[in-house]
Amino acid sequence: MAGMNMQQMMKQARKMQEQLAAAQENLKSQTVDASAGGGMVKVTVNGEMELVNLTIDPDALDPEDVDMLQDMIMAAVNEAVRGVNELANKQMGAITGGLNIPGMPF
């Protein structure tokens, strides 16, 4: 009887592993957009947390405000990365039922 429970647990673990791999693959194709400075800086980050697009409004290009522009870029990128993390957590949480699985990046 205990052997059947163990077999069932192993089957469920394999299924969860397959679902997690599929979710991670799906995440790669998703993107998150974010902006800062009232839309003066816009970024897109993909599911692998890579910056794939950066748009700067030409009105933001005041040479005396380079520090502010850099801060807006960092803020927009960080917001997009947080969005990717939230997206990943939702997808993985739906599969694991909220279990914290050691070794999982999310």
Write the CATH number for 19.
3.30.1310.10
Q: What is the pTM of this model?
A: 0.61
Query: According to the model, what pLDDT value does residue 33 have?
Result: 93
Domain assignment of residue 33, given as a range? 2-96
| Whether pLDDT at 86 is above 70 | yes
Indicate whether 43 belongs to any domain.
Answer: yes
Distance CA 88, CA 45 (A): 13
The whole-chain average pLDDT of the chain stands at 81
* HEC profile of the chain: CHHHHHHHHHHHHHHHHHHHHHHHHHHHCCEEEEEECCCCEEEEEECCCCEEEEEECHHHCCHHHHHHHHHHHHHHHHHHHHHHHHHHHHHHHHHHCCCCCCCCCC
Q: Tell me which of 57 and 62 has the higher pLDDT.
A: 57
Does 54 fall in a domain?
yes
* pLDDT beyond 60 at 42: yes
Do the domain assignments include residue 21? yes
Q: How many domains does the chain have?
A: 1
pLDDT given at position 2: 53
Residue 104 maps to a domain: no
> What does the pLDDT look like over 89-101, one tens digit per residue?
888 777 777 666 5
